Structure 1
Amino acid sequence: MSWDILIMNYRGNPPRVENMTDDDRPFCIGNAGHVRELINKQLSGIDWSDPSWGIYKGEGFSLEFSIGVEDEKDSFMVHIRGGGDPVATLMKISNPNDWSLLDCSSGDFIDPNRPEQSAWGDFQKYRDQIISTKSDSKTE
């Protein structure tokens, strides 16, 4: 189970989710190789042995970058697992590129000027509750 973040290029100005229309399309980021370069400029140590799927191991968490192989990209997904503080690392790659981060759990964009840990914390509580419930049902 992962906390999923959709990264899109709104040039630092994402639309309000509740007012989005079909016209609110993100801008092109570039091809998959360019996306990898932009991420690597901000974050070292990513395993790109599968160029479409990069894995970064942080302190207590991992980020899995689902880049794909499409020629032109306007978004990509990041799957976060573990504990620790992945929000600071997400900001490290998104802010310099003016990328917008959509929290797939809440359906809201993360504020790059005041990124809150609450969404990550809420996901961890939910995940831990699911794991605990599954463990409890196995012991009955």
Structure 2
Amino acid sequence: MSWDVFIMKEKYDFEAPEEEQPPVPPLGQRDEIIEKLTRRIPNLDYRDKAWGFLEGEGYSMEFNTGEEELVNSIMLHVRGGGAVMETIRLVCETLEAYALDTSDSGYIDFEQPEQAEQSWEQFQRYRDQVINQVINKDN
């Protein structure tokens, strides 16, 4: 179970009809993206170009980059606990992109990260509740 954050080049307007949406530009070429990210985040492991892996303090983060050479978006799968917002901010800064919190369909505002941090904390509480239910059921 992971908290998922969608990284994209431009914001998508969920209020507008799909046919009125301009095409979202790609993030760029996969090798260039990987080079930029690993330069800024040295412990990011991208041995598999489709899936980067980062082990942070108390958390892990997978970077689902995909199989295509032209990358339209990256899905971050965040697990564990701890302070993850700085890493997500760094990814967005590096790629000049936006982060969508898929749990509430809101864009993360790094100037006011409290809402995203609340979402991350709510996910952790929910995850812990599910795990405790499974453990208690098995006992």
Fold shared, TM-score > 0.5 on shorter chain: yes
1:80 corresponds in structure 2 to 78
Q: Is contact 1:17–1:109 with CA below 8 Å preserved after alignment?
A: no
SS in structure 2 of the partner of residue 17 of structure 1 = coil
Q: Give the TM-score taking structure 2 as reference length.
A: 0.88
Bigger Cα displacement from structure 2, 41-50 vs 79-88: 41-50
Alignment of 1:53-132 (within 5 A): 53-116=51-114, 117-132=117-132
Cα displacement (A) at 1:41: 2.9
Structure 1: runs of 5 or more not aligned? none
Number of positions where the alignment pairs a residue of Structure 1 with one of Structure 2:
136
- Show structure 2 runs of 5+ residues with no match: none
Give the TM-score, by structure 1 length. 0.88
Sequence identity percentage: 32
Contact 2:33 2:95 in 1 (8 A): no
Shift of 1:25: 3.4
1:21 maps to which of 1, 18, 22: 18
Runs of 4+ in 1 over 4 A off after TM superposition: none
In 1, the alpha carbon distance for the partners of 2:124 and 2:22 equals 31
Partners of 1:42 and 1:99 lie apart in 2 by 15
